[in-house]
Structure 1
Amino acid sequence: MADHTDPRRSDTSRFPDPVYKETVLRPLFDGAKTHHAAGFGRIDRAHLVMLAETGILPRPVAARIARALADISREVDPATLVYTGEVEDFFFLVEKELKQRLGPDEGGRLHTARSRNDIDHTLFKLSLKERLDGLLEKCRALLAALIDTADREKATLIVAYTHGQPAQPTTLGHYLSAAIEILIRDMERIEAARGIVNLSSMGAAAITTSGFPIDRARVAQLLGFAAPQRNSYSCIAAVDYTTASYSALELMFLHLGRLIQDFQFWTAFEVGQLYVPNALVQISSIMPQKRNPVPIEHMRHLSSQTMARARVMLDIMHNTPFTDMNDSEGESQGAGYEAFDCAGRVLDLMASFIGAVRVDPERVATNIRRSCITITELADTLVRREGLSFRQAHEIAADVARAVVAAGSDLETGGYAPFRAAFAEATGNETGLSEQTFREIVSPGYFVSVRDRFGGPAPEPMAEALAQYRAAHDGFAARARAEAQREEEAARDLDTCFQALVGAA
């Protein structure tokens, strides 16, 4: 017969279930002690200072709690802790230590007017801020390397490709400038995400704040946040601080991955316009002639891993309820931190790579000659100097290119005769361009020099662009310094106030 006994009366099990302990509680505890122990300590101290300053806790009580927290910090090394199941998680371990030292009454008073809900999200924001700051520091190093290389190579000719085919000559500096602009926008997205992270959840308690006269702004300031997040429900339910951070991270490495693909193509033997120095080349174990620029492959797959790990965070948050939930908490946050670890490796390697590689001018010159990629300027010049329509000029230029390629020649040395013939056939007139003028027009240096419009590769727009990029880099650095200084001042304020409690009678 079925047992119809009320299971609540017959339940003799004790928490934690051993399987639950090993599959969930132990990993969560280990993640907390690895990633968040310092954050827990900061939150405890800031909350305690606020409770004392507002009079919610009598100062003598707050002083005894402060001394106990200082003792715990000095005597308990989180790295040595092993989860036993005696308490639910790291938070309760600290509370258990307080109760053992102060008794159950005073030991439990630190938790007045707060919850694990607001504590957890504040912890995750503290950790994310630290990682975003580290990421932006590495981004600034890459940005500086890109700007320096673009400046150094602003007159260095390369072949620009479209659809995998040689298209037009430009300079390496001009090409890298395009990457610089994208990186600046990506860094701005990271900064914007950090602005969302930089709002404290403390004081929201479980959902609706508290009936105690707490000072949320004071706790936010002591913890180094810009301000408290306004809506208390949002503090514990809105995970856009997570999704904004990982969305921005994913986009950054999607964009860097495209740049890396070009590096791979440009270093191929058949193209060869980018030379990778020996320090960044590995030799085949069986084919002694091979120079394998494998750092490019590592940048590519690590960028893909970064993207994938960032995307995981967005997928985890997808279709979750708008409330406090474990989906957004400990283990998910820990999984996301791996994206930052991977990202840092790519940024370091790319900054080093960008500064080390050089263009092979002989291969570039050969590829330009073989591909007739300066022919566009011939068509443009015919419009400006001969008064032709662009369509007619384009057809003449196409005939010249076909004739040069068929003859195995190049535009500068073998293009003038086919040009005169094509021009006469198309217009019924002789061209006014001399052979010397023709050769100048189809030279790659001339091609670049006349493209002096805003955003072009000629010296004047490049100089203006590089100045703007350096200003952007300096702006990122200045904002980082100002934020670091503000947080250092907050940390000193917290330490001063907490130590005053420790020393209080």
Structure 2
Amino acid sequence: MSDTTAFPDPTYRDTVLAPLFEGVKTHYAEHMGALNRAHLVMLAETGILPRADAARIARALRDIDTETDIAALSYTGAHEDYFFLVEAELRRRIGDPGGALHTARSRNDMDHTLFRMALRTRGEALAGAVHDLTAALIAKAQAEAETLVVAYTHGQPAQPTTFGHYLGAAIEVLLRDAARLDAALDGLEFCPMGAAAITTSGFPVDRGRVADLLGFEGPQINSYGCIASVDYITGLYSAIKLVFLHLGRVIQDMQFWSAFEVGQLHVPDSFVQISSIMPQKRNPVPIEHLRHLASVTVGRCDTMVGTMHNTPFTDMNDSEGEVQQAGYAAFESGGRVLALLTALLPACSIDDARVRRNIDAGCITITELADTLVRNEGLSFRQAHEIAAATARAVIARGVALGDGHAAFAEAFADCTGRAPSLGAGEYAIAVAPETFIVRRDRPGGPALAALLPALTACTETLAGLRARRTARRNRHRAAAGRLDVAFAQLVET
């Protein structure tokens, strides 16, 4: 039976406090050290603490950081959490002044600052991986700008396009997702420190100084919101979710395109596993791993957003320790997706022979025949469409390729118009050739080189802008770490 007279109850200790302690060791100890140093520097600079007392605390913090093997610590229950363990060690070393470090702050503003620091580290790494994937896809799209593929709608062969054009569409979505992720990362760049429990402090704290030393763009203004708002969590995980939801659709196409019956996407041997019993089978199982890992990542993001649903607009554990730690799994699985897809998709190739067979079998250039009849024969589109449809039915019934179907076309044309077409066999063959289909679609957004290459150049420029923003944030974080080291060292030497 649990001892109900002393804190912590053994069951509470083992099920809640000990796991939280392990999480802090893993995810937050480094950030807590920086936060302690920044807060102490501010207390000394504002005169809230006498500089001599602050210097004693600084030297003790330095020694604790140097002498403590954080990974070897285990939770004993002697102190409620890692925060209180550090404070107790300060007081053991320098007496009651060690408790002065907590002046004008609370675990509330500390926790949300630590969470943001941990999230921005992971978020910047994930954004970098998204940028790397985007760059790899742009390079692949440029290399495959003239490579024919069959485009599908409703699961059926629809029209010819190029692999570069298909990838260009995926790239534009990925760039929009990257922009949403970038905006969410910007949302992490405001510091809750100084909000204290929820209403700031009666001490003359310099919130801007702490934010600067920790690499934030500035303090988050409303102190209630510093503690109660969770949009930095919901916004970030929503942005992450969309990356993998949308990539999952491309991954699903890769599965379909590489199927034996379609066969237009060839996965290289280095990414293929052979059946243990059926030696003829080439199983592109990395695509399956990509699909389920992307789905797992989406689910982990949904868990984070869903956990915040219908929670009170105040300080609450629903948005803190264990919840935050659970969310980091999304970065792990998402990072694996990005790394694998960056390696796999550029290594794949298009089977031109299979593509051309599928183009012929599906008569998917027939739309251009209708368009040609409108331009060359002066027909309405509807009449031209009827002739094209009749031509497709006839060549399929006769088992001939569309390019060899001029006779069937001439019959359909005469039946519909009462006259012979002016389009000869050679002109007809050109009209239904997939290369003609592509080159004539040169309007903005089309697959023709004249349209596609400028679009890919614009994508490259957009990516460069996102990378520059990420670099600026990372430079600010690194510069702040340098300023903190200098300010803290000066305090130690006082």
TM-score by length of 1: 0.97
Matches within 5 A, 1:316-465: 316-413=307-404, 415-465=405-455
Equivalent-residue separation in structure 2 for 1:225 and 1:333 (angstroms): 20
Is 1:50 matched with 2:20? no
Aligned-residue offset at 1:474:
1.2
Q: Which string of whole-angstrom CA distances, capped at 9 and with x for unpartnered residues, describes residues 89-144 of structure 1? A: 0100110110001102x110000000000000000000000011000110011001
Deviation at 1:478, TM superposition (A): 1.4
Residue identity in the other structure for 2:9: D
Give the 5 Å matches for 1:53-72: 53-72=45-64
Q: CA offsets per residue over residues 26-81 of structure 1, 9 Å max, x none?
A: 01111111100001101000000101111111111111100000000000111110
Q: Tell me if 1:238 matches 2:229.
A: yes
CA–CA distance in 2 between the matches of 1:212 and 1:461? 62
Q: Which residue of 2 aligns with 1:6?
A: none
Q: Distance in 2 between matches of 1:321 and 1:409?
A: 68
Shift of 1:485: 1.4
What is the rounded CA distance, in whole Å, between the counterparts of 1:52 and 1:429 in structure 2? 96
Deviation at 1:251, TM superposition (A): 1.2
Shift of 1:275: 0.4
For residue 187 of structure 2, give the secondary structure of its aligned residue in structure 1: helix
User: Following the alignment from structure 1 to structure 2, what is the Cα–Cα distance between the partners of residues 150 and 475?
Assistant: 20
Matched, 1:175 2:175: no
SS of residue paired to 1:161:
strand
Write the distance in 1 (CA, Å) between the matches of 2:379 and 2:223: 69
Partners of 1:408 and 1:422 in 2: how far apart? 17
Deviation at 1:428, TM superposition (A): 1.0
Match of 2:137 in 1: 146
User: SS in structure 2 opposite 1:268?
Assistant: coil
How far off its partner does 1:12 sit?
A: 7.1
Question: d(CA) in 2 for partners of 1:228 and 1:461?
Answer: 45
How far apart in 1 are the matches of 2:409 and 2:163? Answer: 30
Distance 1:438 1:202 in 2: 73
What CA deviation, in whole Å up to 9, does each residue of 1:473-494 have, x standing for no partner? 2112211222211111111000
CA distance in 2, matches of 1:461, 1:219: 50
Letter matched to residue 219 of structure 1: V
Read off the aligned partner of 2:237 and give its amino acid letter: Y
Give 1:197 deviation, angstroms: 1.1
1:78 aligns with 2:59: no
1:495 aligns with 2:485: yes
Structure 1 Cα separation of the partners of residues 302 and 346 of structure 2: 30
Residues 1:473 and 2:463 aligned together: yes
SS in structure 1 of the partner of residue 159 of structure 2: strand
Give the equivalent residue in structure 2 for 1:5: none
Counterpart code for 2:189: N
1:237 is aligned with what amino acid? A
Query: Segments of 4+ in structure 1 off by > 2 A?
Result: none
CA distance in 1, matches of 2:231, 2:362: 50
1:183-202 mapped onto 2 (5 Å cutoff): 183-202=174-193
User: Are positions 1:15 and 2:10 aligned together?
Assistant: no
Corresponding residue of 1:303: 294
SS in 2 for 1:166: strand
Which stretches in structure 2 are left out of the alignment for 5+ residues?
none
Matched, 1:253 2:253: no
State the shift of 1:195 in Å: 1.1
CA distance in 1 between partners of 2:377 and 2:85 (Å): 85
Within 2, Cα distance between the matches of 1:345 and 1:494? 34
Distance 1:233 1:78 in 2: 32
Query: Which blocks of at least 5 consecutive residues in structure 1 are unaligned?
Result: 1-10
Aligned with 2:157: secondary structure? strand
Q: Is the partner of 1:108 in helix, strand or coil?
A: helix
* CA distance in structure 1 between the partners assigned to 2:471 and 2:445 by the alignment: 31
Amino acid at match of 2:435: G
Shift of 1:503: 1.0
| Structure 2 counterpart SS, 1:134 | helix
**Of 459, 468, 473, which aligns to 1:483?**
473
Taking structure 2 as the reference length, what is the TM-score of the superposition? 0.99
The residue type paired with residue 260 of structure 1 is: I
CA distance in 1 between partners of 2:205 and 2:274 (Å): 65
* Residue 275 of structure 1 pairs with residue 255 of structure 2: no
- Alpha-carbon RMSD across the aligned residues, in angstroms, is 0.8
The answer to whether the aligner puts 1:160 opposite 2:124 as a matched pair is no
Residue type of the alignment partner of 1:401: A
- Equivalent-residue separation in structure 1 for 2:231 and 2:273 (angstroms): 43
CA–CA distance in structure 2, aligned partners of residues 299 and 12 of structure 1: 49
Q: Distance in 1 between matches of 2:428 and 2:251?
A: 37
Distance, in Å, in 1 between the alignment partners of 2:110 and 2:236 is: 20
Q: Where does residue 4 of structure 1 map in the other structure?
A: none
Query: Using the alignment, how far apart are the partners of 2:245 and 2:478 within structure 1?
Result: 34
Report how many aligned residue pairs link the two structures.
492
